[in-house]
Amino acid sequence: LTHIKIPEGLQKLPGPKPLPIIGNVLEVGNNPHLSLTAMSKCYGPVFQIQIGMRPVVVLSGNDVIRQALLKQGEEFAGRPDLYSTKFISDGKSLAFSTDQVGVWRARRKLALSALRTFSTVQGESSEYSCALEEHISKEGLYLIERLHNVMKADGSFDPFRHIVVSVANVICGICFGRRYSHDDDELVSLVNMSDEFGKIVGSGNPADFIPFLRILPSMSMKKFMDINDRFSKLVKKIVNEHYNNFNKDNIRDITDSLINHCEDRKLDENSNVQVSDEKIVGIVNDLFGAGFDTISTALSWGVVYLVAYPEIQERLQRELMEKIGMDRTPRLSDRTDLPFLEAFILEIFRHSSFLPFTIPHCTSKDTSLNGYFIPKDTCVFVNQWQVNHDPELWKDPSSFNPDRFLSADGTVLNKMEGEKVLVFGLGKRRCIGESIGRAEVFLFLAILLQRLKFSGMPGEMLDMTPECGVELSRMRTAQRRRWSPRAFGESS
Ligand code: HEM
């Protein structure tokens, strides 16, 4: 690092002194969102740490993050070449791989258009405004039935475990045109293992940063490879079935539309970017993977906040009863009529910041930020948690208060405040599932809240300490077993 030549007029990045081999891993510790936020107070919004042998630039603060990801978007749009990401989707992932810019851009465009088409397309029944609404409504109602049964049998439930299957079914419907039973062993074990995935991607895996650790046997790395392997196998099986009964005149789902794209492209000899069939059809791997884990985590946090703040839960239910009542299931178009629920969701995103960092970025050429020189191929962490808890942006950031997103009389959502919450990233790498994600969190919560009341198990303390990986922070596993839903109206 010392031999990097800094161009004239630019400065060397500030940051803590690294130890040999391990770098700053001790200072970063197990809660990187907190330790890196603390460091930003000391070194400013652009600083450098060393994780193992790899230098990493950490960005904080609304202005600097916008400057990098929006104004200098092209220079910060790469992904670092990390050891663990080679195992995600056979190294062919859209979100994690180090594809060349042209290839990534072509795949991202395809993924976006496929998602848009298959979520807004008309569903099977005209009762629903679109296929997405139909999938979520049906899965929401199944989930309620499921929770009733689990409550009867066990007296309490683990929200993530059940929610994740319902959410996985929504994205399965869009990607593969099918749903699974909550008792399906293959799907249930797979989606419930996604915990391990979250712990390892990003800087969760020391072997990404300290090369010699790669040759040591690591339990979690083995599990990680195993999950990715099983995940890919499941998707491959479904994709093969689609190839076998593919009919160009009846495009049923995203997988069909991607296969169709490969066929069309073979006819189009002028296409200027070469993307293999495997990489095109492989997009479903990313959509399926990204499509259930994030949303189920958001919803599980939602349940935890409902239990922690019963007065907020009551107010949400009053709003639902006044605007919708019990005669029909909530719909996506109810969003504008339920500003308190919208504010509650924004506050879940902000307060939990359950994706405290974006997926790591990487500089695509030599660049500079705030007067500091950043060489090409530098790994960059974007600290979303810091922005969501920055006292410069938020009054009393540590308190959970949905009202911060409402007008003074509590009737209108303040969109400008909402846009300050950073959970989907920004710019060229911004999440492509954002509108589906927001829609799903809204509709699942509305459906659950209309019919269930959530409360903690009597006598148990609520511990909201998240379990942390850089990519995903989750409730501690034990904490997930405590919430008990009751039919709305039943006394707790
Ligand atoms: C990327 C958040 C739902 C697909 C991302 C990133 C974040 C994020 C933080 C990384 C941005 C960056 O690197 O700067 C979320 C949250 C969700 C959600 C909070 C739900 C509440 C979804 C869904 C899908 C999806 C439902 C697909 C159906 C993707 C993909 C990328 C991505 C493909 C990679 C984009 C790229 O690298 O170009 N998401 N996501 N996400 N997300 Fe989401």
Which residue has a Cα nearest atom 34 of ligand 1? 95
Determine phi and psi for 237, rounding to 5 degrees. -60, -45
pLDDT at 394: 98
Which residue has a Cα nearest atom 26 of ligand 1? 291
pLDDT at 378 > cutoff 70:
yes
What are the Cα distances from residue 100, in Å, to 107, 273, 289?
11, 10, 22
Q: Ligand 1 pocket test: pick from 294, 351, 421, 440 the residue with the most ligand atoms within 8 Å of its Cβ.
A: 294
Span 327-377, pLDDT tens digits: 999 999 999 999 999 999 999 999 999 889 998 999 999 999 999 999 999
Would you state the structure tokens that stand for residue 64, as one six-digit string?
A: 């600097």
Torsion-angle region of 9 (φ positive above 0: left; ψ -120 to 50: alpha; else: beta):
left
Ligand 1 contact, 425 CB (< 6 A): yes
Nearest to 437, CA basis, from 204, 130, 119, 206: 119
Q: Ligand 1 pocket test: pick from 424, 436, 443, 444 the residue with the most ligand atoms within 8 Å of its Cβ.
A: 424
Least confident stretch, 166-175, 211-220, 307-316: 211-220
CA of 178 to the centre of ligand 1 (A): 22
- Give SS3 for 23: strand
ipTM of the complex: 0.99
Ligand 1 contact, 294 CB (< 6 A): yes
Span 9-21, pLDDT tens digits: 999 999 999 999 8
Ligand 1 contact, 359 CB (< 6 A): yes
Percentage with pLDDT > 90 across the chain: 52
CA of 401 to the centre of ligand 1 (A): 25
CA of 207 to the centre of ligand 1 (A): 24
CA of 451 to the centre of ligand 1 (A): 30
Tell me what the pLDDT averaged over the chain comes to.
Answer: 85
Span 82-135, pLDDT tens digits: 877 777 777 788 888 888 888 899 899 999 989 988 888 887 788 899 999 999
Give the whole-angstrom CA distance, residue 232 versus residue 88: 9
Atom of ligand 1 nearest to the CA of 171: 28
CA of 285 to the centre of ligand 1 (A): 13
Nearest to 103, CA basis, from 361, 253, 352, 282: 282
Span 265-303, pLDDT tens digits: 766 655 667 788 888 888 898 898 888 888 988 998 999
Residue 411 burial class via C-beta count within 10 angstroms: exposed 0-12, middle 13-18, buried 19 and up: exposed
- Give SS3 for 492: coil
CA of 484 to the centre of ligand 1 (A): 30
Ligand 1 contact, 439 CB (< 6 A): no
Please name the residues in contact with 54: beta carbons below 8 A apart, sequence gap of 6 or more: 23, 208, 209, 379
CA of 318 to the centre of ligand 1 (A): 32
Q: Give pTM, 2 decimals.
A: 0.90
Give the whole-angstrom CA distance, residue 162 versus residue 365: 44
Would you state the structure tokens that stand for residue 281, as one six-digit string?
A: 């059809």
What are the Cα distances from residue 470, in Å, to 28, 34, 197, 206, 292?
11, 11, 11, 11, 18
Q: Ligand 1 pocket test: pick from 431, 432, 472 the residue with the most ligand atoms within 8 Å of its Cβ.
A: 431
Please name the residues in contact with 82: beta carbons below 8 A apart, sequence gap of 6 or more: 96, 205, 208, 360, 379
CA of 452 to the centre of ligand 1 (A): 29
Beta-strand pair 452-455/484-487: antiparallel
pLDDT at 473: 36
